[in-house]
Structure 1
Amino acid sequence: MYPTLRRAEEALAVLLFSVILLLILWQIISRYILGVPVPWTDELSRLLFVYMGVLGAHLAQRDKIHVRIDMILSRLAPGAYRVVEILFNLIILACCIFLIREGMILAARKAVIYMITINVSSWFLFIPLAILGALVSLEVGLQTRDLLRQTSGAGEADRC
């Protein structure tokens, strides 16, 4: 939909992956070659991995490449297919609302706990749940809007 935003998200995913890879490589070199372990690399790479997972889940939803079984859906008429897709999207939206709410509660509870080696609140480790819920709900909302605007035979190209 927005090519600049799409490229920025993909560039961020590549950047996160590269930084994680370099952190782990540095951890291996420092521990096994230099003999001086650097403990903060483990926690920082874990934190970045969580954010990379959130970004990846959002990109998968945007591109409609999440794992799904469409054996029954593929046999439906285009109008029925559209109705079922809209129902699925409403269920996903409900799950996202739950994820946003519970993610914020969990992040608030964990905010007082700090990751020892990088001295950062655990809030940063748990708030991605709410961020994921918000990103996916936005994407699913846009997809649902597009489904509602389609005429009954127009959704054929979107099938998996």
Structure 2
Amino acid sequence: MIGSSIHSHGARVSWGRILADNAEELVAMLLLCIIGAVMVAQVFLRTLLGSPLSWPEELSQFLFVWCSVLGATGAAKRLALVRLGAVADSLPLGLRKGFDYLVLLLVLAVLAVLGWYGWSLMSRTSFSFATLPFTWAWAYAAAPALAVLMGLRLIQLQVFKRRFVFIETVIVPPGTPEQETSA
């Protein structure tokens, strides 16, 4: 039930909070499962029946673009992307906070440029996939989506000091060897 709560690191956390904090990763996992199922079906049809489908490769490419965007957003909120930790850690606490905000502003600026160019490319594109009934604009929409999602998650993390409840802390209980090696 969404309204019920569970324990994560000793604290009670609602399923709604877990779903909100991990929405990108959950959608990416679903898309990866779809990619896997479609490609298994394609291999089966091609190898055993000699009758491959025309669309699985294009669908897989399209979904993989979106999985990458959603995965990058999940990595950003875990601070798992490249960061300037060695520089920041060498600074005094007061300067470190300022440095962290400067880096956030620079990342947001890069995301804004990426989002703008992605939006521009998306809005100019009208050609369709060879086998799928939609245009490449849907694939190019991943760039502005990345800019917005990652920007929001980074602002939540750094400005609003949100402490995300990551799905892996709910699935793997704290103190288990799997949890300790992922830390």
TM-score bracket, normalised by the shorter chain, equals 0.7 to 0.9
Aligned ranges 1:106-117 → 2 under 5 Å = 106-110=121-125, 112-117=126-131
**Within 2, Cα distance between the matches of 1:13 and 1:119?**
22
Q: Secondary structure at the match of 1:125?
A: helix
Q: Unaligned stretches of 5+ in structure 2?
A: 1-16, 162-183
TM-score, length-scaled by structure 1? 0.83
1:118 alignment counterpart: 132
**Within 2, Cα distance between the matches of 1:9 and 1:93?**
19
2:156 alignment counterpart: 142
Q: Secondary structure at the match of 1:72?
A: helix
1:17 pairs, out of 26, 29, 32, with 32
Q: Percent identity?
A: 28
- For the 8 Å contact 2:24–2:71, the answer to whether it is kept is no
1:86 pairs, out of 95, 101, 107, with 101
**Within 1, Cα distance between the matches of 2:62 and 2:45?**
20
Task: Report the number of matched residues.
Answer: 147
Report the Cα offset of residue 142 of structure 1: 2.4
CA offset digits 1:112-134 (Å, max 9, x no partner): 10001112111111011001001
1:35 alignment counterpart: 50
Q: CA RMSD in A?
A: 2.0
- Larger proportion of helix: 1
- For the 8 Å contact 1:73–1:81, the answer to whether it is kept is yes
2:80 pairs, out of 49, 53, 65, with 65
**Within 2, Cα distance between the matches of 1:48 and 1:117?**
14
- For the 8 Å contact 1:92–1:140, the answer to whether it is kept is no
**Within 2, Cα distance between the matches of 1:57 and 1:102?**
18
**Within 2, Cα distance between the matches of 1:69 and 1:30?**
48
CA offset digits 1:55-101 (Å, max 9, x no partner): 10111111111123522222222222111110000001111111111
**Within 1, Cα distance between the matches of 2:98 and 2:67?**
32
TM-score, length-scaled by structure 2? 0.73
2:60 pairs, out of 23, 29, 45, with 45
Q: Unaligned stretches of 5+ in structure 1?
A: 148-160
Change (3 A) 1:8 1:138: closer
